[in-house]
Amino acid sequence: MLADGTIFYGKAVGNQDGTAFGEVCFNTGMTGYQEIFTDPSYFGQLMVTTNAHIGNYGTREDEVESEGIKIAGLICKNFSYEFSRPNASSLQHFLGKNGLFAISDVDTRALVAYIRDNGAMNAVISTRVHELEALKKELQEVPAMEGLELASSVSTKDPYLVGDPSATYKIAALDIGIKKNILRNLARRDAYIKVFPYNATYEEMSAWEPDGYFISNGPGDPQPLKEAIEMAKKVIAAEKPLFGICLGHQVIALANGVSTFKMHHGHRGINHPVINLLTGKGEITSQNHGFAVNREETEAHPGLEITHLHLNDQTLAGFRMKKKPVFSVQYHPEASPGPHDANYLFDQFFELIRVHSKKNVPV
């Protein structure tokens, strides 16, 4: 049931009773359902998968982006109880182990079309089909995503280290919903990473004496993240290399006085076309966001330059600071499970670090 009272019917996966609330959104990816379900950026959302078959290749322990499932619930068309890979386990087992309620046999084409026409909204999935009025009242109590701070719900509680302590570079990463494959991409470029909680200060992070700073992806509205915005302001003022992805991109924009806004239904999938304005090359990208940075304000900002645009709707997909070693993108260059067109952005980050730190290390 959607917040406006519209009802779609399906059946519970595994014939389990359950109820789940959240903002309903859809992802158009043909693969990568396990990565989607464990992506912290989806915290608090009911996920509609547009691919007709979900679960058909099973799950594996090394294909998660965080500890446990982060979506609030799953809505799909055909749920596969059997799977193709002999070295995997069933998606049903994975969902059960993580306590996730899922429904299948939903007309997902009609549901996605409805969301595209009417926008993202809160919804409930439930087996309590004879308690619709009670569910409506409960649904009205679910907070809207706009203005909602969720980074604290998915961030690490304590700092931790990733990579080789003898690596050439040290990166301080602010975890506002970080994905494991981002850390892998940083580590494989000869970096030792210290991951800090969402509310870490610049003073705490700089005490580790990093060569560069990173702000991760994550869920919710960026505007309530006052500590992260203040931290980004101080990194910028200190003229340290800084890279942001998705929610981190929005935080860096806010640190520059550029506003963000809630999108009609957002971008979620692994086939989003982006144009790199600096090279003229197109990129097929992985995207997952319901908020975006104001393009007009960015264009008018004297210290910023737009570097990437989304080709479907011309929304801002990336910018850099003209006189500071700072840049960010709205999409996911780590792109687990793919595509990998934008992986070069990690190399670009380390080139900024090499120039700034004057470490004469071959690429």
Bond preceding residue 197 cis, omega within 30 of 0: no
Q: 23, 35, 246, 308: which one is catalytic?
A: 246
Q: Say whether 54 sits in a helix, a strand or coil.
A: strand
Contacts of 153 by beta carbon, 8 Å cutoff, 6+ apart: 43, 44, 219
Residue 143 carries which DSSP code?
P
pLDDT recorded at residue 359: 62
CATH 3.50.30.20 range(s) for the chain read: 11-140
CATH number of 11-140: 3.50.30.20
Phi, psi of 233 (to 5 degrees): -60, -40
Phi, psi of 99 (to 5 degrees): 65, 35
Residues 350-362 have pLDDT tens digits of: 999 999 887 655 4
Contacts of 343 by beta carbon, 8 Å cutoff, 6+ apart: 185, 333, 334, 335
Token pair in block for residue 6: 């519209």
- The type of residue at 255 is A
Q: For the chain, list residues with pLDDT below 70.
A: 359-363
Q: 289, 301, 308, 332: which one is catalytic?
A: 332
Name the architecture of domain 151-357.
3-Layer(aba) Sandwich (3.40)
Catalytic annotation present for 334: yes
CATH 3.40.50.880 range(s) for the chain read: 151-357
Between CA 353 and CA 349 the distance in angstroms is: 6
Catalytic annotation present for 332: yes
Catalytic annotation present for 76: no
Between CA 141 and CA 137 the distance in angstroms is: 7
Phi, psi of 358 (to 5 degrees): 60, 30
Q: How far is CA 135 from the centre of its chain?
A: 29
Between CA 160 and CA 98 the distance in angstroms is: 24
Neighbours of 141 (CB within 10 A): 8
Give the angle 358-197-216 at the CA atoms, nearest 5°. 60
